[in-house]
Amino acid sequence: MPNVYDQDLIKSFWPKLMCPVRMKDIAHKREPLPNAYSGARTAFESDHDRILFSTPFRRLIDKTQVFPLEKKYDTIRRRLTHSYEVSSLARSFGNDLVFNSPELFPDAILPQRNIPVVLATIGLVHDMGNPPFGHEGESAIQYWFRRRLEAEPGLFKGFTEQQQQDFLKFEGNAQTVRIVTHLQVLNDLYGLNLTLGTLSALLKYIVPSHKVNKKQDLAKGKFGYFASEKAVIDEIESYTGLHEQRNPLTYIMEACDDIAYSVLDIEDAVKKGVISYADIISFLKSANEEDPDEHVSEVINRTSRDYGNYSDIDDLSYHELNDIAMVKFRVYAINTLMQSARQAFTDNYMAILKGEFKQDLLVVCGAKRLSALLKKFCYRHIYRNRDVLGLELQGFNTITGLLDIFWEAINDCEDKGELASPYSKYVFERISENYRRVFHHAVQQGEFPEAYCRMQLMTDMLSGMTDTYAVTTYEDLLKRKQ
C-alpha cells in the first residue's frame, strides 16, 4: 500500500526548517542574502564549503576512526576519510529521495539542489568535535572530571546541573556545535556562521546535558550542546520551529554514519590483517543459520558468488583475493542497508515530520538484523582487539595527562598573572589564540562561572588536537617540566 503524505504539512514544514538565516544576520538585524535557495551558490552550498575549507575539518586527517596512531597501513581510514564517506552516502540518499520521491519536499526550497547538499554538509561535519583517539578520547575527558571531582568536592561550586554535566558527560557532538558556532574564529565570535537550517540538521542530539534520556527518545540518548551554546540553540528552535525535535535530515545522516562505520571498519580490519574476509562471512552464515534473514542471505550469497568467481584466477594472491572480496562485500552490504534505510524513512516520513518517530532508521528498517550483526561483529572482533585496546590506553593516558597539565597551568596563569610560573606560561601559550580569545570574551561577559570558562578552554584545546599532536605535545610538556 503506497504511503499517504500530508502535503499541507510538507509545504509549511520544510521552508521553515530550511532556514537560510545566519546568527550574524540576527545580531545585525538584517535579512539573509537574496536567492538563498538558488543563484550561483545557494546558502546551503556555501555552508558545505565553509565546512570543507575549515581548519578543524582538515585536522580530521590525523584523528582516529578505529586504529589509533596507525602508521604502517596508510590506506586505513581516519576521521577525515570516514567523514567524506558518510557525506557521500548522505548525498546519495538525498539524491534518491528528491528525484525518486519528489512528493516528500515542496518546490519552494528547490529540494533537488538543496536537500542533498545539506546532507553532504552534515556528513562532513558530524565528527568534527571529536577529541583525539576517537570515543576513547571522550571517555578520558569524562573520567578526568569524575576523578577530579572526587579529589575536589568543590570543583563545580556555583555551577548549575547542566554546567556540571557538560563536563561529566563530555560529548563530541556538542563540541562540534561549539566549533562551528563559536570557536572557529574568523573576524568575530560567530564561528563559521552557518545557516540555522544547516545547524538544525547537524544537531544529532536535541537536549542539554541534564536532560539526557535514552529510554524516552534515542535523539535524547546523549546531549547535543553545551550551556555555552544555549542562545544559539534557542534561535535555531525559534526560526525552524523544532523544539527538542530532531531534524528529519539528521535521521538520514545518522543512518549513513552507522552504515559507514559498521561496514567500512570491517574492511579496514581486513586490510590491516586483524581479521579476514572468511571471518565475517563465517560469522554471518552462523548467525543466519540460527535465525534466517533475507537481507543477510542476500549479502552472503552475492558476495560468495563473486568470491568463487575470483578464487579461480591463479594470478591472484591471497591478499589480493581478500581485498577484492571485501570490495564486493562492502558494495553489497552498503547497498542493502541504504535501500532498506531509505524505505524506512519514507514509511515513517509523516511521523518523523511530526516528531513522533523515536527510533533510528536502521533499528526499524527491513535490514535491521544485518545492521545489528555487523555492529556485533565489529565490537567482538575489531574494537576489542588487543592492539586497538593498547593504543586506546596510550591515548587515554595522554589525554588525562594533558588535562592535568593544562588545568594547573590555566589556573596558575589566571589566578597569578605575571607571577605565574614560567612553565605555566609556556603551557598557556600552547593553547590556540582562537580558544583564548573566546575564553576571555566569555569571562568578560560574566554569564558563566569563571571556572566553567576555564574548563571549556581546556576541553576546547584538547578536542582540537590531532592524535599525533596530542602525543608530541604531552611528551614535550613532560620533558620541559623536569
pLDDT, tens only, 362-393:
999 999 999 999 999 999 988 887 777 777 88
Q: How far apart are CA 349 and CA 347, in angstroms?
A: 6
- Do 369 and 393 lie in a common domain? no
**What CATH number does the domain containing 149 carry?**
1.10.3210.10
For residue 395, the model assigns a pLDDT of 87
Nearest C-alpha neighbor of 129 from the set 467, 477, 465: 465
Lowest mean pLDDT among 5-19, 62-76, 201-215, 353-367: 62-76
- Do 116 and 186 lie in a common domain? yes
420 domain-assigned: yes
For residue 134, the model assigns a pLDDT of 80
For residue 321, the model assigns a pLDDT of 78
Interval 22-57: pLDDT, tens: 999 999 999 888 889 998 999 999 999 999 999 999
Which SS3 state, helix, strand or coil, does residue 283 take?
A: helix
Last-in-domain residue among 206, 231, 246: 246
- Do 315 and 401 lie in a common domain? no
For residue 234, the model assigns a pLDDT of 97
Q: How far apart are CA 466 and CA 482, in angstroms?
A: 25
Contact 370, 337 (CB under 8 A): yes
- Do 196 and 312 lie in a common domain? no
312 domain-assigned: yes
Q: How far apart are CA 207 and CA 468, in angstroms?
A: 33
Q: Which three cell numbers stand for residue 45?
A: 552550498
- Do 332 and 412 lie in a common domain? no
Half-sphere exposure at residue 148, Cβ-oriented, CA atoms within 13 angstroms: 20
Q: What is the mean pLDDT of residues 214-237?
A: 93
Nearest C-alpha neighbor of 252 from the set 50, 116, 375, 354: 116
Question: What are the CA-CA distances from residue 233 to residues 5, 23, 85, 137, 245 (Å)?
Answer: 29, 11, 28, 25, 12
Q: Which domain holds residue 470?
A: 387-481
Nearest C-alpha neighbor of 234 from the set 281, 284, 200: 200
For residue 324, the model assigns a pLDDT of 85
- Do 90 and 230 lie in a common domain? yes
Number of other CB atoms surrounding residue 106 within 10 Å: 17
- Which helix (H) or strand (E) segment holds residue 278: the answer is helix 277-290
91 domain-assigned: yes
For residue 254, the model assigns a pLDDT of 97
Q: In which residue are the cell numbers 515530520 written?
A: 353
255 domain-assigned: no
- Do 44 and 117 lie in a common domain? yes
Tell me, letter by letter, the H, E, C secondary structure of 348-372. Answer: CHHHHHCCCCCCCHHHHCCCHHHHH
For the whole model, what pTM was predicted?
0.94
Phi and psi at residue 225, to the nearest 5°: -160, 155
Q: What is the mean pLDDT of residues 201-207?
A: 96
Amino acid, res. 266? I
Per DSSP, what are the bridge partners of residue 22? 195
279 domain-assigned: yes
For residue 72, the model assigns a pLDDT of 61
Q: How far apart are CA 207 and CA 226, in angstroms?
A: 10
Nearest C-alpha neighbor of 93 from the set 265, 249, 200, 266: 249
- Do 25 and 173 lie in a common domain? yes
Interval 297-306: pLDDT, tens: 999 999 999 8
Last-in-domain residue among 361, 382, 403: 382
The number of distinct structural domains making up the chain is 3
- Do 125 and 140 lie in a common domain? yes
For residue 68, the model assigns a pLDDT of 60
Number of other CB atoms surrounding residue 145 within 10 Å: 21
Contact 299, 330 (CB under 8 A): no
Residue 1 pLDDT greater than 60, yes or no: no
Computed over every residue of the chain, the mean pLDDT equals: 92
257 domain-assigned: no
Interval 48-92: pLDDT, tens: 999 999 999 999 999 877 766 666 656 778 899 999 999 999 999
Last-in-domain residue among 198, 227, 246: 246
Q: What is the DSSP letter of 154?
A: T
- Do 194 and 222 lie in a common domain? yes
Which of residues 454 and 215 earns the better pLDDT score? Answer: 454
Q: How confident is the model at residue 445 (pLDDT cuts 50, 70, 90)?
A: very high
292 domain-assigned: yes
Nearest C-alpha neighbor of 284 from the set 295, 274, 273: 295
- Do 92 and 234 lie in a common domain? yes
Number of other CB atoms surrounding residue 98 within 10 Å: 19
Q: How confident is the model at residue 239 (pLDDT cuts 50, 70, 90)?
A: very high
Amino acid, res. 169? K
Q: What is the mean pLDDT of residues 237-251?
A: 96
Q: In which residue are the cell numbers 533499528 written?
A: 363
252 domain-assigned: no
Q: What is the mean pLDDT of residues 206-219?
A: 90
- Do 376 and 399 lie in a common domain? no
Q: In which residue are the cell numbers 595527562 written?
A: 401
Contact 460, 177 (CB under 8 A): no
Q: How far apart are CA 462 and CA 128, in angstroms?
A: 13
Contact 400, 143 (CB under 8 A): yes
